[in-house]
Copies of this chain bind each other. A is one copy, B any other.
Amino acid sequence: MKGWSVFAVLLALVWSSPLTAQSRLDHRQIRAASLTHNIVGMSPMRGVTVYLPSGYDTSGKRYPVIYFLNNFKETETAPFDNSDAQTVFDAGIAQGAIGGVIVVTADFSTPLGSSWYVNSPVTGNWQDFMVTELVPYIDAHYRTLASSASRGIAGDRMGGYGALRFGMTNPETFGAVYALHPVGTGAGVQTMHSRPDWGRLQGAPSLKDFEGDLFGGIFLSIYQAHLPDPTRPPLYVDLPARRENGRLAVDDAQTARLIGNFLLVNQLPKHAGGLKRLRGLKFDWGRNDGNYDHVLSNQAFAHMLDEYGVPHEAEEYHGGWGDRVWGADGRVATDLLPFFSRTLVFQ
């Protein structure tokens, strides 16, 4: 309550001042060479949105950058169109929660909903796109502080997964990581193979069959990222299970491959060292998530970070799936911006 009224007063101040330059959004399209080999008919032209803080056009100074990864099926404009991201960034900067900062979003969606931010022979090399194309492009076209110490990565749910993953694999690019309610960090009680419709997966004549199939689409996007098989049209994946004679037969080898590639807890043996090089690592999740496996998975991931001695913050907070991201008392305002304020170098 109170938070919003302070916020409202502050916004009134911000917006009423003729002396205050407004923040603005810059929309671009860039051609991603890393994605041209995709075989799912996806254009390599990718939308990018750049939040430039108040004063950017006149200050002449360089700014740190936060890359913000979206949730499943969301494109680069989602935080600005569907939520109040620009207002939240403006207010956070105006209130001093963080200094002036550039925020970048980009379109990491695939026809099925998400690239899961990894290189795939089926959907394109999304890790490469980020590290070798998008970041250099932003550094070339904007006045950034172009070093990992001033470059953070964050994301919301599936985007939180991506943020943690980039922190593991590319700590030389991103110096600090904040994941909001990440998925795919570990295993829960309900199995992955209990979710999709195996009849559809085994018999689908085309990818279009998964439009409107929530779990089918999610899991097929996971398989295209983590169990890709370019030789197997139309889905281009190896399946980790098959329904035969009314029973589900789990394929041990493909399950091991899926769990090894996908679940972040299983990437720690290889990449714990990357996380230790970060200037800061934080993630959070809501304990009231209707899918309790998200809670159990994040708890398990936090425990294993401890086992490897990875410094981190991990907060389980009061809230459900996706309901406290934006807004004046959302986690971006109360936790994410102050985190990057503490962990990034601003000059």
Contact = CB atoms under 8 A, between A and B. Distances in A.
B300 A300 contact: yes
Interface string A264-296: 000011101100100110000001101010001
B300 A187 contact: yes
Interface in A301-318: 302-304, 306-309, 312-318
A239 to B, nearest CB: 13
A299 B287 contact: yes
Given A2-B343, A307-B187, A313-B317, A272 B299 contact: no
A290 B272 CA distance: 24
B288 A190 contact: yes
A1 B318 CA distance: 28
B302 A318 contact: yes
A207 B331 CA distance: 42
Given A189-B287, A317-B315, A260 B269 contact: yes
A250 B2 CA distance: 21
Copies in the complex: 4
Interface string A242-271: 000000111010011001100000001110
A199 interface: no
A318 B313 CA distance: 6
A192 interface: yes
A60 interface: no
A18 interface: no
A318 B312 contact: yes
A276 B255 CA distance: 14
